[in-house]
Chains A and B, each alone.
Chain A
């Protein structure tokens, strides 16, 4: 049950840097719970799928009976995926045709920048802001196609690195590893707005 107007965001905590997201969300004013089972999704207004290894996350999701549950959650509530989380949300994953939730109309290429020695702390464009955005790219994927309903919110070297499709947000970089909290605050606002919409519908 939701209590009052509080906003609770779940962080999928099967594997990856979920603790970093937990800290970033708390900094942004959100209540946070770590989610490891499908029933825990009932208690949250939004969900973060963290960075990690997408192949391992896929395996753990299906073994915890969470693959379908998260897919359904994506239809009704805001979800934010970073790096591996972005890969899981994407409609198509290249080059290996890896399985995904396929809810966000983008194609991503895994490890598109190369191996760890090609990882970088980049500075890119945050659309609508004069202050550039730090982007920590670690064995990062690249968004190689965006569908017509997908809005591009940030770019690095001309390539989209942060995209939004209605209540779905995805980044190929790791805002949770920077001290700039603009992206987590943005997602927190998305979740708050979603709560307001659903409460005005039911009223």
Chain B
């Protein structure tokens, strides 16, 4: 499906924002915390990097308030690579987003991985030239973020766990809810919009096209080539890999050679996601994975995905 290309949602700016997201399709966006890691990601074939102070697994382990990365770090990473650089701001923290736009980052992730700054409001993303990506667990949440101006949706999953179960739950949920809308009669769409908590016009658009009006990527717990292939086959158009590339466990980094091999293997798996023979070779070439944390063992209060609404 050509999502975003002719969405009828707005003029040039939204088309330019979703246009960059279109270019990232079929690719892997990798979390990095240094120029060195960013270069490894680019050499491995990442389509973009997410510049961070700490990856989600570290944030989870160390606690404290997680904020936007320091401008110095972001600039260092931007100078190191030629691919797009993304950075995260806290939910609702539009001043952090303004800083990121002024730095010239290519995409802003208004992310539940950082400590939320506003319990009620997300950033008004229409006010920015820089495109935004936002997390979602279901269709209603995805459409609320799109109404606010998000140019890309990613499933939230459960970041920093290396457990793919929630990423699977969320992509299945969104795809199922989209499918359900396509069989409704026109006079049932207002009721559906009320139930989803989403704008009627967007609900109607999804019902007609059978897809989100912006690209739909997956994130939150993807750790192996097979994980990446799984979410791709379930409908994700590209994949974010956070802690899964560079971490051995929540506190220790993997050796760089190992991280590079993992990165290359996941890139290969995202492209050839429906070719089991290539996936087998790629999985064999992939050295280990982050030790991980079973998401089912987390307390409600430890979940990152419940941040934002």
Given contacts A55-B83, A116-B106, contact A60 B23 (CB under 8 A): no
Q: Report chain B residues within 8 Å CB of A60.
A: 45, 267-268, 271
> Once the chains bind, are A56 and B130 in contact (CB under 8 Å)?
no
Cβ of A18 within 8 Å of any chain B Cβ, yes or no, is yes
Cβ of A3 within 8 Å of any chain B Cβ, yes or no, is no
Q: Report chain A residues within 8 Å CB of B26.
A: 13-16, 18, 52
Q: Of all chain B residues, which has the CB nearest A121?
A: B12
A136 touches which of B15, B45, B106, B272 (Cβ 8 Å): B15
Q: How many A residues, CB 8 Å from partner? A: 39
Which chain B residues in 6-42 approach chain A with CB under 8 Å?
6, 12, 15-16, 19-20, 22-27, 42
> Once the chains bind, are B267 and A96 in contact (CB under 8 Å)?
no
> Once the chains bind, are B47 and A138 in contact (CB under 8 Å)?
no
Q: Of all chain A residues, which has the CB nearest B104?
A: A115
Q: Report chain A residues within 8 Å CB of B19.
A: 17, 119, 136, 138, 174, 177
> Once the chains bind, are B130 and A117 in contact (CB under 8 Å)?
yes
> Once the chains bind, are B20 and A136 in contact (CB under 8 Å)?
no
The smallest C-beta distance from B81 to any residue of chain A, in angstroms, reads 8
The smallest C-beta distance from B21 to any residue of chain A, in angstroms, reads 9
A99→B47 CA distance, assembly (Å):
17
Given contacts A56-B46, A115-B104, contact A51 B16 (CB under 8 A): no
Given contacts A59-B44, A110-B82, contact A139 B104 (CB under 8 A): no
> Once the chains bind, are A55 and B271 in contact (CB under 8 Å)?
no
Q: Report chain B residues within 8 Å CB of A55.
A: 42, 45, 82-83
> Once the chains bind, are B104 and A117 in contact (CB under 8 Å)?
yes
Count class of interface residues, chain B: 35 or more
Q: Report chain B residues within 8 Å CB of A199.
A: none
> Once the chains bind, are B23 and A83 in contact (CB under 8 Å)?
yes
Given contacts A15-B47, A17-B23, contact A56 B267 (CB under 8 A): yes
> Once the chains bind, are B271 and A14 in contact (CB under 8 Å)?
yes
Contact bitstring A11-52, B, C-beta under 8 A = 1, else 0: 001111111101100000000000010000000000000011
Cβ of B5 within 8 Å of any chain A Cβ, yes or no, is yes
Q: Report chain A residues within 8 Å CB of B82.
A: 55, 96, 110-111
> Once the chains bind, are B23 and A59 in contact (CB under 8 Å)?
no
> Once the chains bind, are B23 and A53 in contact (CB under 8 Å)?
yes
Cβ of A120 within 8 Å of any chain B Cβ, yes or no, is yes
A19 touches which of B1, B105, B107 (Cβ 8 Å): B1
Cβ of B131 within 8 Å of any chain A Cβ, yes or no, is yes
Cβ of B288 within 8 Å of any chain A Cβ, yes or no, is no
Which chain B residues in 223-249 approach chain A with CB under 8 Å?
none
Cβ of A179 within 8 Å of any chain B Cβ, yes or no, is yes
Q: Report chain B residues within 8 Å CB of A63.
A: 268
> Once the chains bind, are B5 and A176 in contact (CB under 8 Å)?
yes
Cβ of B258 within 8 Å of any chain A Cβ, yes or no, is no
The smallest C-beta distance from B8 to any residue of chain A, in angstroms, reads 11
> Once the chains bind, are B130 and A116 in contact (CB under 8 Å)?
yes
**Which of B23, B44, B105, B264: most chain A Cβ within 10 A?**
B23
- Interface residues of A, Cβ cutoff 8 Å to B: 13-20, 22-23, 36, 51-53, 55-56, 59-60, 63-64, 83-84, 96, 110-111, 114-117, 119-121, 136, 138-139, 174, 176-177, 179
Give the 8 A-B residue pairs with the shortest CB-CB distance, closest first: A59-B45, A116-B106, A17-B22, A121-B12, A15-B26, A53-B47, A23-B2, A56-B45
- Interface residues of B, Cβ cutoff 8 Å to A: 1-2, 5-6, 12, 15-16, 19-20, 22-27, 42-48, 82-84, 101, 104-107, 129-131, 264, 267-268, 271-272, 275
A-B contact pairs, 20 of them (CB 8 A): A15-B25, A15-B26, A20-B22, A36-B275, A51-B22, A52-B24, A52-B25, A53-B27, A55-B45, A56-B267, A59-B45, A116-B20, A116-B107, A117-B104, A119-B19, A120-B16, A136-B16, A138-B20, A176-B5, A177-B5
Given A51-B23, A84-B23, A116-B107, 7 other A-B contacts at CB below 8 A? Answer: A17-B19, A59-B45, A59-B264, A115-B106, A116-B130, A121-B12, A177-B22
